[in-house]
Amino acid sequence: MDLFVFPRWANKTRVLAGALLGGAPLYLTGLIWYGASPKTTDVGYMPEQPVPYSHALHVGELGIDCRYCHNTVENAAFAAIPPTETCMNCHARIHTKSPKLEPVRESWRTDAPIEWKKVHDLPDYVSFDHSAHVTRGVPCSSCHGRVDKMEQVFQQETLSMSWCLDCHRAPENHLREPELVTKMDYKPPKKQVEHGLELRKKYNINPPTDCSTCHR
Amino acid sequence: MAATIKAGAAEVSAATSGLNPYQGPPVGDNVFAKITQNVSRVMEVPKPPRAWYIAFGIALTLLSIFGACLGWVVWEGIGAWGNMVPVAWAFDITNFVFWVGIGHAGTLISAVLFLLRQNWRTAVNRFAEAMTIFAVACAAIFPGIHIGRPWLPYWMFPIPNQMGMWPQFRSPLEWDVFAVGTYATVSVLFWYMGMIPDFATFRDRSTSTIKRAAYGLVAMGWRGSSRQWHRYERAYLLLAALATPLVLSVHSVVSFDFATAQLPGWHTTIFPPYFVAGAIFGGFAMVLVLAVPARQFFGLKYIITIKHIELMAMVILATGMVVGYAYGMEFFIAWYSGSMYEGFTFQNRAFGPYAWAYWTMIFCNVVSPQIFWWKKMRSSPWVAFIVGVIVNVGMWFERFVIIGTSLARDFLPGSWGYFIPTPVDYLTLGGSFGLFFTLFLLFCRYLPMVAMAEVKSIMPEAHVAHGDHH
């Protein structure tokens, strides 16, 4: 039997083996870190809705306020999805023959609600309260993006825990006067951080970061 | 000859320590070769002794039970155990501390005794190091399942993540992660590096290509040149120096899990030295439990001699009394502190509902080692084996007593309870021995069980002056 099982070139593979052993954990960590992050898996989620409703048209062009349809945001945890009746307030007279609106009219006739698809869906172990944020000056667009420019609504932010914490730790980057939260083309009166710090002081805004704030 | 490189140091230390551990029967002229033959034979024979098969069968059975229990706990959740408030830490943490403790003798023998030039260690250090690694492997499983969501143990490590979460570095449980992690890493490195020359011996003696390739791969091109030996010895010394503080640090940190809590019975400053002594005590007992049958069944009686058994028995006797002192001191401090909660806790320990566990512990850990005062008992391998088993039982009970009794009855009588283990608890404990012994038996069969190169270096034949006196 040969004294040497391994051929001479095997010596060179030692460097390769070392690089693999060292590199593989790094590569795997990176792959999972990036591949399984909400940035990759969740951002850009844009489900097909039962009605081709355009926020860009209704909010951007026509200037309807967010709260006209999502009317519970200031008082409740949940931002209401409008019932068919809200649509029919206008569409009983406008575009009454439009084929795009047929599902709405059908819902109106049959009394069966339209099954909208939820875009911004937090995990069940998180409790989020819209009213707590909206009435304190956290703008809609900070979480939902420029909805007034979206033909079809998609998820713009990661909604990850660290994303929540970024704002809870430094809310001055987002705060506005509470009456301006729904304004989509908002420009801060001065530098956002300075203005935000003033508002923090004015309204005494100190968001908690305890586990039990959101996980109850 | 590679071993002669070591001869200088060995000669000096043999002279100073006055110990000649090589006390076996004379084996003729070619003693170095015979050591190699004897140790390698275990790997070379086509079939290991029948005892190995029986032991391996039992170990595999226990291992499958362990696997089933872990699977059930993952599926069902930790409700499968008897843990219930107030005893939220029960068998799981007891088993963790027990197994981590077992590992201590390995580092002590391989690092501290090396630096102290206690050359008798060479016969048993490989054993002890292997035991350490397998014990730490068993230990690591328990915190992993204790957290209740075993798929999330990476939360314990500082890995950047989308939750923006970071481990709580002020928690002793987090210190544990690093203490045990460091310990496992250094132990594996130490063990592996020590085996490289012996792997090369195995490689050179192997007759099948598969074995040759496998041992050749792990021997990493070892040729036994002077330069290789020189660097090897340097590295070994450095690793020993690195590993030495770990003997003290690991179990000290494990004891902080308890000592930093406010609970009476846990909140004491004696815990770190007390835990370290207990760990060495239990670890040496486990070395005996493994070494006595191994030397018997693999024909290594003249390498692991009666002298070794006796020395380890002495360590057990000494550390056993340190542990006994700590038990006594706990009671003294409970009285001396004047704290009624401390006082009650210890009264409750000895005479409360867990008295049976407490007195089992006292018998196993304090009474049973006293037999080693007699030389005849110290030098009887099977007595040492039995005491080793008893001490291990006792050390398990020590951890159970500390954890169980303190939690079950704390400040408020209204929140007292009693822990009743479920069958899953018992089977998980028993099953962890399956993992340990399966790994150990595989080690015996396929890896160099005795550090051949090191044993040779301390034999009289390795001395430079050997032969001049004749």
Residue contact B162–A6, C-beta within 8 A: no
Residues of A in contact with B165 (CB under 8 A): 161-162
Residue B191 belongs to some domain of the structure:
yes
Residue B470 belongs to some domain of the structure:
no
Q: What is the ipTM of this complex?
A: 0.70
User: Which one, of A140, A138, A135, lies nearest residue A75 by Cα?
Assistant: A135
- DSSP letter string over B449-464? SS-HHHHHHTSGGGST
Query: Which pLDDT does position B116 carry in this prediction?
Result: 83
CA distance B391 to B105: 14
B205 touches chain A (CB under 8 A): no
Instruction: Measure CB to CB from residue B162 to each of A1, A29, A160 and give the nearest one.
Output: A160
Residue B360 belongs to some domain of the structure:
yes
CA distances for B31 relative to A89, B36, B302, B440, angstroms: 103, 9, 11, 27
Q: Higher confidence at residue B455 or residue A185? A: A185
Q: Give the pLDDT mean for A83-98.
A: 93
Query: Which pLDDT does position B121 carry in this prediction?
Result: 82
> In angstroms, what separates the C-alpha of B184 from chain A's closest C-alpha?
18
Residue contact B165–A161, C-beta within 8 A: yes
Residue contact A5–B160, C-beta within 8 A: no
Count the alpha carbons within 13 Å of A74 in the hemisphere toward its beta carbon: 12
pLDDT of residue A133 exceeding 90: yes
Helix (H, G, I), strand (E, B) or coil at B360: helix
Which residue range is the domain that position B330 belongs to?
2-462
Residue contact A6–B213, C-beta within 8 A: yes
Residue contact A37–B165, C-beta within 8 A: no
Residue contact A161–B164, C-beta within 8 A: yes
Angle between helix axes B381-400 and B306-336 (nearest 10 degrees) is 30
Query: Which pLDDT does position B470 carry in this prediction?
Result: 46
Neighbours of B13 (CB within 10 A): 16
Residue B204 belongs to some domain of the structure:
yes
B212 touches chain A (CB under 8 A): yes
Residue contact B159–A29, C-beta within 8 A: yes
Residue contact A162–B213, C-beta within 8 A: no
Residue B468 belongs to some domain of the structure:
no
Residues of A in contact with B167 (CB under 8 A): none
Searching chain A, which residue's CA lies closest to the CA of residue B203? A3
Q: Select from B149, B154, B162, B192 the residue whose CB has the most chain A CBs within 10 Å, as the one to mutate to test that interface.
A: B162
Instruction: Measure CB to CB from residue A5 to each of B159, B160, B213 and give the nearest one.
Output: B213
CA distance B157 to B140: 14
Percentage of chain A lying above the pLDDT 90 cut? 79
Residue contact A161–B213, C-beta within 8 A: no
Q: Give the pLDDT mean for A150-179.
A: 93
Residue B467 belongs to some domain of the structure:
no
> Is B145 in contact with B73 (CB distance < 8 Å)?
yes
Residue contact A165–B164, C-beta within 8 A: yes
Q: Higher confidence at residue A8 or residue B149? A: B149
Instruction: Measure CB to CB from residue A5 to each of B162, B165, B216 and give the nearest one.
Output: B216
Query: Which pLDDT does position B3 carry in this prediction?
Result: 39
Residue contact B213–A158, C-beta within 8 A: no
Q: Higher confidence at residue B160 or residue A66? A: A66
> In angstroms, what separates the C-alpha of A127 from chain B's closest C-alpha?
15
Residue contact B212–A165, C-beta within 8 A: no
Residue contact B162–A37, C-beta within 8 A: yes
B211 touches chain A (CB under 8 A): no
Searching chain A, which residue's CA lies closest to the CA of residue B154? A29
B16 touches chain A (CB under 8 A): no
Helix (H, G, I), strand (E, B) or coil at B87: strand
Q: Higher confidence at residue A113 or residue B37? A: A113
pLDDT of residue A149 exceeding 50: yes
pTM over 0.90: no
User: Which one, of B305, B317, B300, lies nearest residue B379 by Cα?
Assistant: B305
Q: Under 8 Å CB-to-CB from B339, ≥6 apart: which residues?
A: B264
CA distance B246 to A138: 51
Residue B131 belongs to some domain of the structure:
yes
Q: Which element (helix H / strand E) includes B190?
A: helix B172-205
Tell me the CATH number at B379: 1.20.1630.10
Residue contact A161–B162, C-beta within 8 A: yes
Searching chain B, which residue's CA lies closest to the CA of residue A158? B162
CA distance B119 to B23: 13
Searching chain B, which residue's CA lies closest to the CA of residue A38? B162
- Helical H runs in B206-270? 209-219, 226-259
Q: Give the pLDDT mean for A92-114.
A: 93
Chain A with chain B: Cβ pairs closer than 8 A: 35
> In angstroms, what separates the C-alpha of B162 from chain A's closest C-alpha?
6
> In angstroms, what separates the C-alpha of B213 from chain A's closest C-alpha?
6
> Is B264 in contact with B339 (CB distance < 8 Å)?
yes
Q: Give the pLDDT mean for A139-165.
A: 93
CA distances for A170 relative to A90, A166, A192, B380, angstroms: 41, 6, 12, 71
> In angstroms, what separates the C-alpha of A46 from chain B's closest C-alpha?
21
Q: Give the pLDDT mean for A121-132.
A: 94
Instruction: Measure CB to CB from residue A162 to each of B163, B209, B216 and give the nearest one.
Output: B163
Residue contact A11–B221, C-beta within 8 A: yes
Residue contact B207–A37, C-beta within 8 A: no
Query: Which pLDDT does position B353 carry in this prediction?
Result: 93
Residues of A in contact with B164 (CB under 8 A): 160-166
> Is B47 in contact with B147 (CB distance < 8 Å)?
no
| Chain B, window 336-375: residues with a beta carbon less than 8 angstroms from a chain A beta carbon | none
Instruction: Split chain B (470 residues) into runs of 10 and give each run's mean pLDDT.
Output: 38 36 47 80 83 93 96 92 91 94 83 82 86 93 90 86 86 92 91 92 88 89 91 91 87 93 92 92 92 85 86 93 95 93 93 95 96 93 95 96 93 92 95 96 90 79 57
Query: Which pLDDT does position B9 carry in this prediction?
Result: 38
Number of domains in chain B: 1
Q: Which residue has the tokens 């283990």?
A: B421
